[in-house]
């Protein structure tokens, strides 16, 4: 009996990964920005986490890069329907950055240089699910992809991965960010195809 291999039809033979519903695979790295690219020098960059009581934790470039890093390899899923498999990053886990932050908040509002914001439940930043990253594919993260530092939350649609990240405000109530206010889904799970409000 002949066993006929039908091949992989548009999938990289070695990827073996699944696409979320409605997505297609891309091999380049599209740039999607709602405005101009802010140019933030590393020596001017600062990141703060502010708790719901106003307690402020801040990192500059030296303090951030002194921390132990992780090198996650993850798949990216953009709401405009492209997915990119197997991207490799280096950065600091949000578990580590949040470890000394005393909070009972349920939500996080992430804000960027340039004014972009996005919201998500605090638990989606914990347990090895999110990083702030400064290195992509072994090189310093390019400004158009969010350099010097961006958030990476790959289990949600990529609009949650704020580029040029500047800080996180922890909140008791869920305040919508930029795209969430414009009709995107509040949570944005690509596997449940939560693209727009009401999905």
Ligand X SMILES: Nc1nc2c(c(=O)[nH]1)N[C@H]1C(S)=C(S)[C@@H](COP(=O)(O)O)O[C@H]1N2
For ligand X, which is the closer residue by CB, 34 or 104? 34
Task: Kindly state the smallest distance separating residue 146's Cβ from Mo ion, in Å.
Answer: 12
Does 82 sit near Mo ion (CB under 5 A)?
A: no
Between 7 and 21, CB nearer to ligand X: 21
Among 78, 96, 101, 126, binds ligand X (CB under 6 A): 78
Task: Please tell me the distance from the alpha carbon of residue 24 to that of residue 22, in angstroms, as a whole number.
Answer: 7
Site string for ligand X, 148-167 (x = CB under 6 A): ----------xx-xxxx---
Q: 118-149 burial, b if ≥16 CB within 10 A, otherwise e? A: bbbebebbeeebbbbbbbbeeeebebebbbbb
Does position 116 bind ligand X by CB under 6 A?
Answer: yes
Interface size with ligand X, residues (CB under 6 A):
17
Sign of CA dihedral 84, 89, 95, 97: negative
* Binding residues with Mo ion: total (CB under 5 A): 4
Give the C-alpha distances (Å, rounded to integers) separating 2 from 5, 6, 8, 9, 13.
10, 12, 18, 20, 21
Tokens of 5: 């291999």
* CB-CB contact of 157 with 79 (8 Å): yes
Of 1-9, 16-24, 32-40, 60-68, the window that binds ligand X (rule: CB under 6 A) is 32-40
- Nearest CA-CA partner of 36 in 115, 117, 135: 115
What tokens does 172 get? 């008791």
Q: Which is nearer to Mo ion, 67 or 182 (CB)?
A: 182
Kindly write out the interface string for residues 15-34 of this chain, putting x where it contacts Mo ion by CB under 5 A and - elsewhere: -----------------x--
Instruction: Please give the residue ranges that form the binding site for Mo ion (CB under 5 A).
Output: 32, 78-79, 159
Instruction: Please give the residue ranges that form the binding site for ligand X (CB under 6 A).
Output: 30-34, 78, 112, 114, 116, 145-146, 158-159, 161-164
């Amino acid at each position: 009996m002949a066993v006929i291999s039908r091949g992989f039809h548009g999938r990289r033979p070695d990827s073996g990964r699944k696409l979320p519903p409605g997505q297609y695979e891309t091999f380049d790295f599209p740039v999607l920005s709602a405005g101009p690219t802010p140019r933030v020098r590393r020596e001017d960059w600062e990141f703060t986490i502010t708790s719901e009581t106003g307690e402020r934790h801040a990192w500059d470039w030296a303090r951030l890069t002194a921390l132990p890093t992780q090198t996650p390899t993850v798949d990216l899923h953009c709401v405009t329907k492209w997915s990119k498999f197997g991207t490799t990053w280096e950065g600091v886990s949000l578990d580590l950055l949040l470890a000394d932050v005393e909070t009972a908040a349920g939500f996080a509002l992430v804000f960027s240089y340039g004014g972009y914001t996005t919201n998500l439940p605090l638990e989606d930043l914990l347990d090895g699910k999110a990083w702030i990253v400064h290195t992509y594919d072994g090189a310093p993260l390019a400004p158009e992809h969010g350099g010097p530092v961006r958030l990476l939350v790959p289990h949600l649609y990529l609009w949650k991965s704020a580029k040029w990240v500047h800080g996180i405000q922890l909140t008791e109530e869920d305040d919508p960010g930029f795209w969430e206010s414009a009709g995107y889904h509040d949570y944005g799970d690509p596997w449940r195809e939560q693209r727009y409000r009401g999905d």
